[in-house]
Structure 1
Amino acid sequence: MLSIIGILISVITVCVNAKINIYVTDTPIKRIGTRLYKQELLTNQFKDVKELAYDSASRNLYFMFMDDSIQNSGRAFINIITKRAAKINGIEKNKATAVDPDTGEVYFGSDDGLYKYDPIAEEAINIGLYNMNIFKIVIRNNEMYLIDANNHMIYKIFDQGLKAVLVGNMKTVIEFDVDYKKNIHFVTMCGVYCAIDGVEVVKNKDLNVVYHFISDEYKTFGVTESGLYEIDCKNGTAKHVAFLDFFPRSIIFGDYGDIFYAVDDNIYRLKPINSYTIYKIHRHKS
């Protein structure tokens, strides 16, 4: 018999045809669409966390936070296995954070250009693009893209951060992502768009705003106030796939179906539940 002393029991109740399904775990759980996840608090020691970026090799999760010691935004990381967390010196202001998934190299953006992380010194080094105010960085398919907050347009970066080339004529860009098919998903003051292979621009018919994009090897999703939508780039459509009972400041995919997200000062890991015991309670009509 399971002892309930010291065990946190989380219950999701679903009523269908007078039946109640009770899911019991030893941690809090979240339901996103048809999937169940164990929820793990990684840290709550950093203020106003944003811009999560994950490195599969080191298992480090990088992020931006408001650092009271410098009265500005700073960078830090937490190892999701050991839970060791540390601040990163050498950079402040703005919020761009990105990991190259192929090399594990970590980059940051600020109002004075592009920074690269030195993991030995745990310090960010300014390497170029000194006249750019880097608001957002995306690295995918061995290519780096960013938003320059000076004009809110997207640039593709070449020569290890020494050269920036304007991508299209996408103005007032406030959020973007690049999927594994090299399509550029972006949000402007006029709506949600997708540049197919970075060229032909299609406006989304179903969404007016997306706060975060998250992509895996097959699909791209958009986070809105109504939940999670799967985006069809070529058709300019979006299908609602799940409600969210939280509104993330940042959200990304990790390894093996994991999801990382930040809410206020908290960073959480959602780990898929692949097996569980279901206790079915049948209601008896009186």
Structure 2
Amino acid sequence: MNSFQHHPVKQIRENTRRQVILADVNIPYKFSLDRSKNHLFFCINADEFSEQSFHSVVLELHGGSTTIVPGIRNGFASAVDHASGSVYLGGSDGIYKYNYQTKDVITPSLIGEIDIFDMYFQKYLYFVDTANQNLYTYKNNKVTIVPELKDHQILHFVIDVDDNIIFVNGAGIHILPKGEKSAILYDNRNINIRGATTDINGLPFFIAQDGIYKIGDNMELVKILILENGYGLAFDKDNNIVYSDERTVNKLIPCDKY
């Protein structure tokens, strides 16, 4: 075994340095990263003078410029199709495609009259509705519930490189293996997980209030980074970790890049 497997937290801490990309932002959450353009999509809590609770934000990772997407109400969730470069944004009124030229959503919405809580793209678009916490697919302009999971309430989810669906709810972390009819409870520890994603290799990672976790070589849940108040998580084109706490967006840069 290598040192990462023995002491993953120690290795991450010693071999990387934190770069603050965006500071003084109000709970950056629900990360999706367009690696082809190096743009991070996420939501923030709106200020007290706004008519909305959330805003969708676009952050250019290299330059640090930010834009609030104006055409979506309570923009919250996001997903990126890395093959085509399409970006999807979900809010109180449904799901929209993002237009880089106008820096706004394309209207009308792809899916309307549904509040979106979480999204992920793997071959096609998956999303969770806020009201019932069910998981759906959007394929060929048709919305279909994932039947194997219709009895599970889902908060966060991700699809890994093997097309397994990994999801989080109040009972813990569950896995629906590809082709199976029922999900397996993977870990029922009381970990306050706030998001799930995959790295550039399609391996699943989770961000919790107390840190970042991965599924280890022996299928155990391993903490790789300690955080005081984690919220959002993504991986850039070089597989660097991009994460947030309640006030900053950060990137972990390998020490040899300094």
TM range (shorter): 0.7 to 0.9
Structure 1 residues 118 and 229 mapped into 2: Cα distance closer, same or farther (>3 Å)?
A: closer
Structure 1 residues 54 and 156 mapped into 2: Cα distance closer, same or farther (>3 Å)?
A: same
Larger radius of gyration: 1
Contact 2:172–2:189 under 8 Å retained in 1:
yes
Q: Where does 1:16-95 land on structure 2 (aligned, <5 Å)?
A: 32-35=9-12, 36-68=15-47, 70-72=50-52, 73-95=54-76
Matched AA of 1:81: H
- Could you tell me which runs of 5 or more consecutive residues in structure 1 were left unpaired when the two chains were aligned: 1-30, 277-286
2:250 to 268, 272, 278: 268
User: Which residue of the partner structure matches residue 119 of structure 1?
Assistant: 100
Distance between the aligned counterparts of 2:87 and 2:187, measured in 1? 35
C-alpha displacement of 1:98: 1.5
State the SS of the aligned residue for 2:44: strand
Distance between the aligned counterparts of 1:151 and 1:247, measured in 2? 27
C-alpha displacement of 1:269: 1.2
Contact 2:210–2:228 under 8 Å retained in 1:
no
Contact 2:172–2:187 under 8 Å retained in 1:
no
User: Which residue of the partner structure matches residue 207 of structure 2?
Assistant: 223
Identity %: 20
1:28-71 Cα deviation digits (max 9, x unpaired): xxx94413212111112532211121111211111111233633
Distance between the aligned counterparts of 2:43 and 2:205, measured in 1? 22
Contact 1:154–1:170 under 8 Å retained in 2:
no
Distance between the aligned counterparts of 2:59 and 2:212, measured in 1? 26
State the SS of the aligned residue for 2:113: coil
- Could you tell me which runs of 5 or more consecutive residues in structure 2 were left unpaired when the two chains were aligned: 1-7
TM-score norm. by structure 2 comes to 0.83
CA RMSD in angstroms comes to 2.5
1:138 corresponds to 2:120: yes
Q: Where does 1:57-206 land on structure 2 (aligned, <5 Å)?
A: 57-68=36-47, 70-72=50-52, 73-125=54-106, 126-140=108-122, 142-159=123-140, 162-167=141-146, 168=148, 169-197=150-178, 199=180, 200-205=182-187
User: Which protein is richer in helix relative to its size?
Assistant: 2
Distance between the aligned counterparts of 2:190 and 2:178, measured in 1? 22
Structure 1 residues 151 and 56 mapped into 2: Cα distance closer, same or farther (>3 Å)?
A: same
Matched AA of 2:11: T
TM-score norm. by structure 1 comes to 0.75
C-alpha displacement of 1:243: 4.2
Distance between the aligned counterparts of 1:85 and 1:98, measured in 2? 18
Query: How many positions carry a matched residue from both structures?
Result: 241
Structure 1 residues 151 and 208 mapped into 2: Cα distance closer, same or farther (>3 Å)?
A: same
**Greater shift after overlay, 82-91 or 196-205?**
196-205
Matched AA of 2:222: H
Give the ranges of 4+ consecutive aligned residues of structure 1 lying more than 4 Å apart after TM superposition: none
